[in-house]
A and B are shown apart, each in its own frame.
Chain A
Amino acid sequence: MTTDAFDPSDLLPLRPQDLQVLLLLNGGPLHAYGISKAAEEQEGGVRLEIGSLYRMLNRMLTTALIEEVDEAALEPGHAAPRRAYRISERGRAVLEAELARLRQVLSAAEAGLAREREA
C-alpha cells in the first residue's frame, strides 16, 4: 500500500466506537472477544454485540486502520488459532489526528465557556 496520498484527516471525525477500538488496540493486540470485553469494562464503555463488532472490524480492516496479527504472538500454545488485531501505522496516524482534533474542539469549547462565564 502506498501512503503517499494518504491524509489522516480524510477519515475524521471518527465514530465514537471506532475511536474506542483504536484506543484499545493502541495498548496492544487483542482478538475480537478481548476487544468487546475490554470495551464493556472500560469506564463509560459500551456493549458491543458480536455482529456489530465484526462489522466494525471488517470496516477498519478495509480502511487499513487495523491489521491482523499472528495468534501465536499473542497467546503462545493456544490450540485453536483465532484472529487477533492490532492498530496499523495508518491507524495510529488517524488516531493521533482524531485526538488532536478532539483537543482542539475541547479547548475551543472551554474557551467559549470561559468567555461566557466572564461576560
Chain B
Amino acid sequence: MSAAPPAAGVRLALGSYSAATRLLPRRFRERWAADMCADFRGRLAELAAVAGAGSVFRFWLRNLLDVLRLAWRERTDSSFLPPAPRRQHPHERETMLQHLLYDLRHAARSLTRRPAYALIVLLTLAVGIGANTAIFTVVRGALLRPLPYEQPEQLMSIWGEFRPVSGFEFPVFPLSPPEFVDYRADNESMTEVAAFSSASATITGPEGEAERVRGLLVTPGMFEVLRVQPALGRAFTHEEGTPEAERTVILSDGYWRQRFAGDVDIVGREIVLDGEARTVVGVLPPGFGFPDSRFQMWSPLQIDYGDPGNRRSHWLQAIGRLAPGRTLEQASAEIEGMMAGWQEQYPDIHTGHHLWLRPRVDDLIGPQARRALLVLLAASAFVLLIVCANVASATLARGEERSRELAIRGALGAGRGRLVRLMLLESTLLSLLGGALGVLVAAVGVPALLSMGAGAVPRAESVRLDGVVILFGLAVALLTGLLFGLAPALRASGETAEGAMREGARGASGGRRAALFRRGLVVVEVALCFVLVVGAGLMVLTLQGLLAEQIGFEVERRVAVEIDLPSARYAEAGAVEAFMNEAEARLGALPGVRRVDTGAYLPFLSGTPSWDFTIEGQTPPGEGEQAWNADVQIFSPGMLETMGMSLLRGRSFDERDTVDSQLVVMINETMATRFFPGEDPLGQRLHVNGDEGYGWATIVGVVGDTRRDLGADPRPAYYFVASQGPRTTDSVYRRRFAVLEAEGDPAALMASIRAEIRALDDALPLATMTTLREAVRDSVAGERFRALLFALFAGVALVLGGSGVYGVLSYAVARRTREIGIRRALGAQSGRIATGVVAQAMSLAGIGLLLGAGLAALGAGWIGSLLHGIDAMQPALWLGVAAVIASIAVIACWVPTRRALTVSAVEALRPD
C-alpha cells in the first residue's frame, strides 16, 4: 500500500473538485453543488483513512472527470426523459447538425472514458503545439510584423559601401555629412531624407539622480520621414537643425513619465544634459521609438547645409521615405546615376565608394538572424511531426482496441463515413484542446524565450502573443488532428465486422496495413529524432568551439566599469587624465581589488576604431590598394597585466611614457607578422595617418593577439598609452573602461565601486559594470540561444520520439505474444525468437537512421552558415546520435520480447 496522502493533497483535491462544480449549469449548481462537495469530502476522508495516496488519487481523478461529464451532459442534454414511444424514428428527424452534435457528444464521452489516453495525447500535443506557437510568435514579431511606423514599406535606409578598389572593404558603412546633404538635395525618389547618429548623454538636475540617457541626434526631417507628430509640444524646426541654433530636445513618452512623472508642463522647461541646459520642445506619443523602443530622447543634428564638412568623415546613418509610386528599384537606379556624377566630381573619394539603398526592416534583422529563426521554426515543426506520429500511433493502437466496437456499429448500420467522422471528431476535439493548452504553453514560453535570448532575438519588442498567433496555434492544432486522426480512422473503420470479431482483441498483429503504417511511424520518428539531435549537437559544438577560443586575455575575477565624463565639465585632456588617475588610485585602494587600469576601448565591451598608418622606410599602399590599418587600443600603463594579456617581446608601457617623452606604441602579433615579416619590429617607427601633425611612434613591445569578437580572426592592432593620447590624435578620451582584477568575486565589489565614483563626482551617472566573463558570454548570445533552443527541441524529440518508438515497437511485440507462444510450444529456442524480433526492429530503426541522415545532409547546407569552425558533417556526432537512437530501439523491443517469452504457452493460447 502506498503512503497516506498528505494534507495538502487532500486540500488540493477538494479545491479542484469544488472548482470543477462551477462548470455545472447555474440551476443545477445552486441546487446540488454544496451537497456534492460535502459528499466528496466525506468519501475522500473515509478513503484517505483506509487507503493510500494512489487510491485517493484515482478517486479524485474519477470524480473530477465525472463532474466534467456531468457538466457537459447537463449543458447539452435537456431532455432526460426516455424517448416517447410514439416519437418518429430518430433518423427521419435528425438534421446534419444534430448528427454532428450527437457525434461530438459521443466523442467527448468516449474520451472521458479513456482518461489516460486522452491525457497523454493532450500533454504531447500541448508540448508540440506550444513549441511551434512560441517560435512562430518570435518569427512573427521579428520577421513578419511590419515596423511600427506609417506605411513602413516605404522606409529605406541609405548606406555607403567601400569596394576593395577604394582601398577598403566595407559593404555597409555610414555616410559623411556632405554625402547626406548632396543626396538629400539631388534625389527625386524620396519625399524626405533624414540623418541620425546616436548620442547618449548624462542628465542631471533636481528631478532625479544623474543617469545616462540613450539619445539620438536627428535632422529635423526625421519626424516627417517617420510620419509621427509629438503628442505634446512640437517637432524640430528646420532652423534647429543648423549650427548656432538653440539646443532643444524631444522626449519619449516612457522617459517623460519615468523621469518627469508625466509633467504636462514639460514643454518649454529646461533640463541639464552633459552639463548644458536644453529646452524640451516636445514629447512623442506612447509606443513610438526610433531606431528602437530603447531610445529616450532626440536632439537636433546640426549640419551646416552650405558647408557640411569633411566628405571622408563617415558617421551618419540615413533614412528616407519613398515618394508615392516610387519603387526601390527606381530609387536604386537613380542613385547609380548620381554616383557616376560623384565619381567624376570627387574621383579620389568616390572611386569604389558609393551609396546604396535597402528597406529599413533589413537593417534590423540581418540574413543570419533570419536564417537562424527559420531553422528554429523548422526544428519546432519537426518536433510537431514527432508529436503527430506519437499521437497517431497511440490513436491507432486505441482504434484497434475499439475495432470490435466500430465493427459492431458498422454492422448495425452506421455508414463508413459516419464512423470516420466519429473518429475524426475525437481527434479534432483532442487536438483543439491540445491547441488551447499549447497556446497557454506559448504564452508562458514566449517571455521565457525572450529572457533566454536577450540580445539574440531581433526586434524583441515587437514579439508578443496576439490573435494571429492564437489562430496559428489553433490552425496547427486542427491540422495536427487531421494528420494524426485520419489514417487510424480510415483504417479502423475499414475493418469488417466479421474480421474484427474473428481476430479478437489480442494475438494477431492487426492487419497488414496497420503493421505497415506502424513501421512507417517508427521510421519517420527515428529519422526526425536523428535530424533534431544532430542539429542540436552541431549548435552545441559551435557554441563550445566559440567559448573555447583563445581570446588573449583573462576574464576570471575581472570587472569593467564604464566611466563617461561630460565634455562640458571635462573639456581639457588634463582634467580627464587627472580624474582617471584619481579613479585608478581610489578603486585600487578598495579592499579586495588587486589591480586597476583604464582603457578607452575594450574588446567585447566597446566598438574599436581602426586607424590607417604608415611605416617608416616602407612604401605605403598605392591608389586602389587596400590601405594599411589596424585596430586602436588606448591603455593606461599597467593594463596589459590587469587584463592578463601576454607580452611577447620588448616592454610594456610604464611611468617613463609621459606626454613629453618619446611617443611609443605596442603592436599585436598579427600586426608584427603581417607588416614586419622576418624582421624585428622593435625600434621601428610608425605614423598614424588620421590628420597630419602626429609624431612617429616607436614600437617598444609586441603583445599576444586578443579577439574583438568570438569567431572572428584577430586583426592587426596597436596600443597607445593614455598619457600620450593628446599626441596621438587630438581626441580626448572621456569615455574609459576601468578594469579591476578582484581577489574574489568581482560582483561583490560593485557597490563599493559605485560609491567611489560617486565620491569623485556625484553628477556622474551610475556606472555600468560588467564582468569580462559576462561580456564575452553576451557576445555569443545568438549562438547560445540557438544551442539552447535546439537542445531543448532535441531533448523533447528524444523523449517523445524515444517513447513513440518504444510504444510502437513494444505494442507490436506485445501483439505477437500468441505467435511467440505458439513458436515456443513448437520448440523454437527463446534466443532465436528474441533475435528475430530485435533484428526486425533494428532494420526499421536502420531505415529511419538512413532517412534521417539523408535529411540531415540536405539540411546541412542550410544551417551551415550558423555553424562556426565546424562542418555539419561530423562523423563522430552522427554515429553517436545514431547509436543512442538505436539503443532506444533495442531496449524498446527487448523488454516486451522478454515479457512475451516468460508468458507460458498455455497463457498465450488462452482464448479471449
Q: Which residues of A contact B (CB under 8 A)?
A: 10-13, 15, 32-33, 49-52, 54-55, 57-59, 62-63, 80, 82-83
Q: How far is the CB of A35 from chain B (nearest CB, A)?
A: 10
Max count, chain B CB within 10 A of own CB: residue among A12, A33, A62, A63: A33
Q: How far is the CB of B238 from chain A (nearest CB, A)?
A: 76
* Residue pair A50, B80 in contact (C-beta under 8 Å): no
Residue of B nearest to A18 (CB): B82
* Residue pair A33, B66 in contact (C-beta under 8 Å): no
Chain A residues within an 8 Å CB radius of B36: 50-51, 54
* Residue pair A54, B81 in contact (C-beta under 8 Å): no
8 A–B pairs (Cβ distance < 8 Å), ordered by A = A33-B42, A49-B63, A49-B66, A51-B69, A52-B70, A58-B32, A62-B80, A83-B35
Chain B residues within an 8 Å CB radius of A63: 81
* Consensus secondary structure, chain B interface: helix
Asked if B502 CB lies within 8 Å of chain A CBs, one says no
* Residue pair B39, A32 in contact (C-beta under 8 Å): yes
Residue of A nearest to B73 (CB): A55
Q: In the assembly, what is the distance between CA of A82 and CA of B84, in Å?
A: 35
A55-B70 contact given A50-B40, A82-B35, CB 8 Å threshold: yes
Asked if B74 CB lies within 8 Å of chain A CBs, one says yes
* Residue pair B66, A52 in contact (C-beta under 8 Å): yes
Asked if B125 CB lies within 8 Å of chain A CBs, one says no
Give per-residue flags for B49-92: 1 if the beta carbon is below 8 A from chain A beta carbons, else 0: 00000000000001100110110011000001110100000000
Asked if B28 CB lies within 8 Å of chain A CBs, one says yes
* Residue pair A13, B82 in contact (C-beta under 8 Å): yes
Chain A residues within an 8 Å CB radius of B73: 55
Chain A residues within an 8 Å CB radius of B28: 58
* Residue pair A54, B82 in contact (C-beta under 8 Å): no
Q: In the assembly, what is the distance between CA of A109 and CA of B793, in Å?
A: 64
Chain A residues within an 8 Å CB radius of B82: 11-13, 15
Max count, chain B CB within 10 A of own CB: residue among A13, A49, A59: A49
* Residue pair A51, B66 in contact (C-beta under 8 Å): yes
Q: In the assembly, what is the distance between CA of A80 and CA of B42, in Å?
A: 12
Chain B residues within an 8 Å CB radius of A10: 84
Size of interface on B: residues with Cβ below 8 Å to A:
22
Chain B residues within an 8 Å CB radius of A33: 39, 42-43
Give per-residue flags for B833-866: 1 if the beta carbon is below 8 A from chain A beta carbons, else 0: 0000000000000000000000000000000000
Q: In the assembly, what is the distance between CA of A55 and CA of B38, in Å?
A: 16
Residue of B nearest to A61 (CB): B31
Chain B residues within an 8 Å CB radius of A32: 35, 39
Chain B residues within an 8 Å CB radius of A11: 81-82
Chain B residues within an 8 Å CB radius of A57: 32
Q: How far is the CB of B57 from chain A (nearest CB, A)?
A: 15
Chain B residues within an 8 Å CB radius of A12: 82
Chain A residues within an 8 Å CB radius of B38: 80, 82
* Residue pair B43, A50 in contact (C-beta under 8 Å): yes
Chain A residues within an 8 Å CB radius of B70: 51-52, 54-55
Max count, chain A CB within 10 A of own CB: residue among B35, B40, B42: B35
Chain B residues within an 8 Å CB radius of A54: 32, 35-36, 70
Q: In the assembly, what is the distance between CA of A87 and CA of B82, in Å?
A: 20
Chain A residues within an 8 Å CB radius of B69: 51-52
Residues 25-50 of B at the A interface (beta carbon under 8 Å): 28, 31-32, 35-36, 38-40, 42-43
Q: In the assembly, what is the distance between CA of A61 and CA of B73, in Å?
A: 17
Q: How far is the CB of B82 from chain A (nearest CB, A)?
A: 7
Q: In the assembly, what is the distance between CA of A113 and CA of B80, in Å?
A: 35
Q: In the assembly, what is the distance between CA of A62 and CA of B27, in Å?
A: 13
Q: In the assembly, what is the distance between CA of A101 and CA of B32, in Å?
A: 33
Q: How far is the CB of B2 from chain A (nearest CB, A)?
A: 21
Q: In the assembly, what is the distance between CA of A6 and CA of B32, in Å?
A: 28
Q: Which residues of B contact A (CB under 8 A)?
A: 28, 31-32, 35-36, 38-40, 42-43, 62-63, 66-67, 69-70, 73-74, 80-82, 84
* Consensus secondary structure, chain A interface: helix
Chain A residues within an 8 Å CB radius of B62: 49
Q: In the assembly, what is the distance between CA of A50 and CA of B17, in Å?
A: 11
Complex partner residue of A59 from B40, B67, B80, CB under 8 angstroms: B80
* Residue pair A55, B74 in contact (C-beta under 8 Å): yes
Residue of B nearest to A10 (CB): B84
Chain A residues within an 8 Å CB radius of B81: 11, 63
Q: In the assembly, what is the distance between CA of A100 and CA of B114, in Å?
A: 37
Chain B residues within an 8 Å CB radius of A62: 80
Max count, chain B CB within 10 A of own CB: residue among A11, A55, A57: A55
Residue of A nearest to B28 (CB): A58
Residue of A nearest to B42 (CB): A33
Q: In the assembly, what is the distance between CA of A62 and CA of B74, in Å?
A: 14
Chain A residues within an 8 Å CB radius of B80: 59, 62
Residue of A nearest to B31 (CB): A58
Residue of A nearest to B67 (CB): A51
Q: How far is the CB of A57 from chain B (nearest CB, A)?
A: 8
13 more CB-based (< 8 A) A-B contacts, given A50-B63, A52-B69: A11-B82, A13-B82, A50-B39, A50-B43, A51-B66, A52-B70, A54-B32, A54-B36, A55-B73, A58-B28, A80-B38, A82-B35, A83-B35
Residue of B nearest to A9 (CB): B85
Q: In the assembly, what is the distance between CA of A6 and CA of B74, in Å?
A: 26
Q: In the assembly, what is the distance between CA of A51 and CA of B60, in Å?
A: 12
Q: In the assembly, what is the distance between CA of A50 and CA of B63, in Å?
A: 7
Q: 6 shortest A-B CB distances, which residue pairs?
A: A51-B70, A49-B66, A51-B66, A51-B67, A54-B32, A59-B80
Residue of B nearest to A63 (CB): B81
Q: How far is the CB of B75 from chain A (nearest CB, A)?
A: 12
Q: In the assembly, what is the distance between CA of A23 and CA of B69, in Å?
A: 26
Chain A residues within an 8 Å CB radius of B74: 55
Residue of A nearest to B33 (CB): A54
Chain A residues within an 8 Å CB radius of B67: 50-51
Residue of A nearest to B40 (CB): A50
Q: How far is the CB of B492 from chain A (nearest CB, A)?
A: 29
Chain B residues within an 8 Å CB radius of A83: 35
Residue of B nearest to A15 (CB): B82
Residue of A nearest to B21 (CB): A51
Q: How far is the CB of B31 from chain A (nearest CB, A)?
A: 7
Q: In the assembly, what is the distance between CA of A63 and CA of B74, in Å?
A: 16
* Residue pair A51, B63 in contact (C-beta under 8 Å): yes
Q: In the assembly, what is the distance between CA of A98 and CA of B28, in Å?
A: 28
Q: In the assembly, what is the distance between CA of A83 and CA of B38, in Å?
A: 11
Q: In the assembly, what is the distance between CA of A52 and CA of B112, in Å?
A: 14
Residue of B nearest to A37 (CB): B43
Chain B residues within an 8 Å CB radius of A59: 80
Q: In the assembly, what is the distance between CA of A2 and CA of B67, in Å?
A: 34
Q: How far is the CB of B721 from chain A (nearest CB, A)?
A: 83
Max count, chain B CB within 10 A of own CB: residue among A10, A50, A58: A50
Chain A residues within an 8 Å CB radius of B63: 49-51
Q: In the assembly, what is the distance between CA of A23 and CA of B74, in Å?
A: 25
Q: How far is the CB of B26 from chain A (nearest CB, A)?
A: 13
Chain B residues within an 8 Å CB radius of A15: 82
Q: In the assembly, what is the distance between CA of A55 and CA of B69, in Å?
A: 11
Residue of A nearest to B69 (CB): A51
Chain B residues within an 8 Å CB radius of A51: 36, 63, 66-67, 69-70
Q: In the assembly, what is the distance between CA of A15 and CA of B66, in Å?
A: 19
Q: In the assembly, what is the distance between CA of A57 and CA of B70, in Å?
A: 13
Q: In the assembly, what is the distance between CA of A51 and CA of B82, in Å?
A: 20
Q: In the assembly, what is the distance between CA of A36 and CA of B70, in Å?
A: 16
Q: In the assembly, what is the distance between CA of A11 and CA of B82, in Å?
A: 7
Q: In the assembly, what is the distance between CA of A21 and CA of B835, in Å?
A: 58
Q: How far is the CB of A63 from chain B (nearest CB, A)?
A: 7
Chain A residues within an 8 Å CB radius of B66: 49-52
Q: How far is the CB of B68 from chain A (nearest CB, A)?
A: 8
Q: In the assembly, what is the distance between CA of A15 and CA of B74, in Å?
A: 17
Q: How far is the CB of B66 from chain A (nearest CB, A)?
A: 4
Q: In the assembly, what is the distance between CA of A13 and CA of B83, in Å?
A: 10
Residue of B nearest to A12 (CB): B82
Q: How far is the CB of B35 from chain A (nearest CB, A)?
A: 6
Q: In the assembly, what is the distance between CA of A59 and CA of B77, in Å?
A: 12
Q: In the assembly, what is the distance between CA of A52 and CA of B24, in Å?
A: 12
Q: In the assembly, what is the distance between CA of A12 and CA of B62, in Å?
A: 30
Q: How far is the CB of B313 from chain A (nearest CB, A)?
A: 80
